[in-house]
Chain A
Amino acid sequence: MKLQTATRLGLYATLELARQPDRTLSAADLAERFGVSSHHLAKVLRTLSAAGLVQGGRGATGGYRFTGNRRRTTLMDIVALFEPAPGQRPKEPGEETDIGGALQRVLTEIDEIAEATLQSISLETMLKPAR
């Protein structure tokens, strides 16, 4: 599973904010932390904000904080905000052929395992110290 840059940034930003829910960080702070442009990150934060996972960000220096539920939110919930749903992926050229169909079944199998994995990991589990 290859994640788009926006998805990866969405995961980074959510996890960073969820690590300390009472702390606020600006888009610029977060952008610097992950080495990306704050313009790019601002768009990602708007998506996360519309989903109710983060709140804030008024003005250039406005801080964001985590407003979701660490135990109930899974990595898949965040991925699904940025990646097309499995049923809505555009058909690839050649998918109608025998070989294309067989290849697609293998790729679907891989995607199902990846999705099950992402769905099984809550932010709480992800942020737990390794043991």
Chain B
Amino acid sequence: MVAIRPAQATDLQAISALDARLTGSNKPIYWQEMLAPERHFLVAETDKGALVGFIAGEVRAWEFGQPAAGWVFAIQIDPKLRQRGVGSQLFEALVARFKQEGVTRVRTLVDRKDHLILSFFRAQGMVAGPSLQLDKDLS
């Protein structure tokens, strides 16, 4: 069993470390900025006080021309605790906060080759949204 609570400055080191271990990129400033008051930054903690996952998001209006929606920016779960509903608990807690802010839609962007995270969001009931993401190589 894990408990979900808002992230605090004292969690940043554990959050950064978990993310760096899973993604291979260290971005402590990015995580620090997630503590901004308009953002929702939640962590999952075991009863022994170990941080085993986090989720970050924010309600944004008129981003890319779309009406207000809750955006999920990031989610990570310690691989040792996967398949135990920790990700679903974090997602549901974030969605509850989005609903409190009055939005009726949750949205995210996913690497289409990352089948694990795509499958996770699909299992939460998410489907393709109205936007197509486009890129151009500028090098």
Interface residue ranges, A against B (CB under 8 Å) = 74, 112-113, 116-117, 119-122, 124-125, 128, 131
Contact = CB atoms under 8 A, between A and B. Distances in A.
Contact of B128 (A117, A122, A124, A128): A117
B122 to A, nearest CB: 5
Interface majority SS (helix, strand, loop, mixed), chain A: helix
23 contacts: A113-B112, A116-B112, A116-B113, A116-B115, A116-B118, A117-B128, A119-B115, A119-B118, A119-B119, A120-B115, A120-B119, A120-B121, A120-B122, A121-B119, A121-B122, A122-B119, A122-B122, A122-B123, A124-B123, A125-B119, A125-B123, A128-B123, A128-B125
Contacts of A122: 119, 122-123
Interface residues of B, number: 10
Interface of B: 112-113, 115, 118-119, 121-123, 125, 128
Contacts of A120: 115, 118-119, 121-122
Nearest to B120: A120
Contacts of B128: 117
